[in-house]
Structure 1
């Protein structure tokens, strides 16, 4: 196996970015050429080009997928931390990205709200933010994930160990470990 793309999907506040950062550090320690694409950071950098409606979220996912594909072609393993709320997005990822690995970061909405440092859920409940996944827009539960973790029931370390175990098998096939 050459390079791969690991896509963390889940609600805002589920722990995608935290786990993605841990995976990035782990892969760097294994001397992998790796790049993390955090959906929030990419969105921040490109400004208000894309909104939060379904069609806009799909376009944003296409941008992340294209970046991952281009980086993979240059020999870089890519980690994406982005909600990817619709099965349509995740299926397109699986079809268009070689060596695609999907990590479903499950978390109760209650825990996501408790962890919400940006207070997006509160704003959504007050009507100040529209199209909030988990509030007034649906998160379609993944059916074809490669690894599922539940950060409501597991510590970050327990969740990461599940991911690491799966990735180690990939690296062994690749001949990196």
Structure 2
């Protein structure tokens, strides 16, 4: 690769089942085809490794996001495009991480709760509704949607390809690609 790659953290936030992981994987494939250095930090994978032992209290969720943000910052400053898919329900901690990283693009993966519950790939909403899971985002814990995301993907109205293209176009427009 001849060009110097500019690092950026692309933070996909939204409810469980909104499509964060799916879109981030499609964006990663598109960027890898173009020979960009890309890392995906998926919330579920991070919880099994980097933040194992943290629960789902507000403090633990904030610490989870801080740790993801720390790793993203290291990669970003070293010229990597970092794609993060994490529910990250609280606005304040997303803003804290954004200000620390600097090169940060927020993608709101927006799907109505009813649509996310219909998708319920992991059966989590069902467990939350039955009381098996407590503090579940969107059910008995709040999700604070971004006020000014650079990108908003409406996954109940757009195809994966349309959402992916929207992210790639914005990264080009902002000078990261």
TM-score range (shorter-chain normalised) is over 0.9
Unaligned residue ranges in structure 1 (runs of 5+): none
Return structure 1 stretches of 4+ with deviation > 3 angstroms.
none
Query: Structure 2 length normalisation: TM-score?
Result: 0.92
Q: Deviations over 1:16-74 (max 9, x none)?
A: 00000011111111211110000111101246421011111000000100010111233
Figure out how many residues of one structure are paired with residues of the other and give that number.
173
Q: Is the 8 A contact 2:7 2:75 kept in 1?
A: no
Query: Structure 1 length normalisation: TM-score?
Result: 0.92
Q: Deviations over 1:80-130 (max 9, x none)?
A: 000111111211122111210000000011110111121100000000001
CA root-mean-square deviation: 1.4
**Do residues 164 (structure 1) and 168 (structure 2) align?**
yes
Q: Is the 8 A contact 2:6 2:80 kept in 1?
A: no
- SS of residue paired to 2:40: strand
**Do residues 17 (structure 1) and 38 (structure 2) align?**
no
Counting only pairs closer than 5 Å after superposition, residues 1-177 of structure 1 correspond to structure 2 as 2-46=6-50, 48-170=52-174, 173-174=175-176, 176=177
The separation in 1 between residues aligned to 2:119 and 2:68, in whole angstroms, is: 25
- SS of residue paired to 1:13: coil
Unaligned residue ranges in structure 2 (runs of 5+): none
Q: Which moved more, 1:9-18 or 1:82-91?
A: 82-91
